[in-house]
């Protein structure tokens, strides 16, 4: 552990704090490492396609978040009850939307894969890096999947 500051004597401060800690019969233990530093980048095309896949079925509800105890819990219970009783109607009403979403997902995946392939090709032509073989693209592989047949539902949360 290090202290940083222009207006302090870091060594003396740290030494004194540790000494007082020891006088109380405690040891200065190292805690878990912190997760600082920039977050990794997220490739927008791949993320978009994945997210489309995960959210393509409009009949699958979003998770219920209870707002603490009391009234919040009551509201969550009411919403859960509504979902159970009305699910059959929701499925019926949104059947075509599900088909449409599947088509959008497939189209987007194909276009995204094409963009990634072309981007890699352009970079290769500009001499930045060798072009990736088209089959190595994760998104392209996904684009090649057959359209979803029948019902595909994420587990209920």
Partner 1 sequence: MAVHQLLPRFHLTDTSTLAAVELQTLLRRLGQDGELFALEREGGTEALVHHPDALRARSGDLVLLHHDRESSLASRLLHLSCRRGVVFHDLHPVEPEWDESLQAARAQLTGLAEPGALGIGLSAFATSQLRSAGWTSTSAVPLYVEAERYGPERADAELRKRLDSAALTLVAVARPTAGSGLDDLLRLHGELRRLRPDARLLLLAPDRAMPPATRELREVARHQPGVQWLGPLQHAEQVAALRCASVAVSMDEQDGTGLRLLEAMAAGVPVLAYGGGATVEMLGGAGIAFTEKRFGVLAELVVRLVTDTALRTDVLAGQERRLRAQGAESSARALASALADIGLTGTPRPAHRPRRPRVGIIVQRYGPEVTGGAEAHARQIVEHLAPHWDLRVLTSCAVDHLSWANTLPAGESEVDGVPVVRFPTPGPRPMHRLNALSRRLFGHSLSLPDEERWRALQGPLLPGLWRHLAEEGGGYDGFVAFTYLYVSTAWSVPLVGDRTLLVPTAHDEEPFHFDAYREVFEQPAVLLVNSEEELALIDRRFPGHARARVVGVGVEAPPAAGERFRSRFGIHGPFLLYVGRVERGKGIPELLDVYARFRRGLAGAPELVLAGESSMAVSGEGVSVLGRIEEQEKWDALAAAEAVVVPSAKESLSLLTLESLAAGTPVVGNAASEVVAGHLERSGAGAAYRDPASFAEAVAWVSARRGELSRAARTYARELSWARVVDAYREEMSRVVEHR
Query: Considering the complex, what minimum distance in angstroms separates the CB of residue 66 from partner 1?
Result: 8
Site for partner 1 in 62-91 (CB under 8 A): 62-63, 65, 67-68
From the number of C-beta atoms within 10 Å of its C-beta (0-12, 13-18, 19+), residue 123 rates as middle
Query: Considering the complex, what minimum distance in angstroms separates the CB of residue 150 from partner 1?
Result: 25
59 vs 55, 84, 90, 107, 123, CA distance in Å?
A: 10, 12, 6, 21, 41
Q: Does 45 bind partner 1 (CB under 8 A)?
A: yes
Q: Does 126 bind partner 1 (CB under 8 A)?
A: no
Contacts of 52 (CB under 8 A, 6+ apart): 101, 104, 105, 108, 109
Residue among 31, 39, 56 at smallest CA distance from 147: 56
Binding partner 1 (rule: CB under 8 A), the pick from 11, 20, 84, 156 is 20
Q: Does 129 bind partner 1 (CB under 8 A)?
A: no
- Residues lying near partner 1 in the complex (CB under 8 A): 1-8, 13-14, 16-18, 20-21, 26-32, 34-36, 38-45, 47-48, 51, 54, 62-63, 65, 67-68
């Amino acid at each position: 552990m290090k202290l940083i500051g222009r207006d302090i004597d870091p060594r003396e401060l740290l030494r004194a704090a540790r000494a007082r800690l020891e006088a109380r019969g405690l040891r200065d233990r190292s805690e878990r490492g912190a997760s600082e530093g920039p977050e990794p980048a997220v490739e927008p095309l791949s993320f978009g396609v994945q997210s489309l896949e995960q959210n393509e079925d409009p009949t699958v509800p979003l998770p219920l978040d209870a707002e603490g105890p009391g009234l919040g819990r009551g509201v969550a219970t009411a919403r859960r009850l509504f979902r159970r009783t009305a699910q059959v109607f929701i499925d019926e009403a949104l059947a075509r939307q599900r088909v449409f979403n599947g088509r959008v997902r497939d189209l987007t995946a194909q276009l995204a894969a094409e963009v990634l392939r072309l981007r890699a090709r352009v970079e290769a032509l500009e001499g930045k890096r060798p072009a990736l073989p088209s089959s190595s693209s994760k998104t392209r592989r996904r684009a090649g999947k057959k359209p979803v047949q029948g019902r595909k539902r994420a587990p209920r949360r």
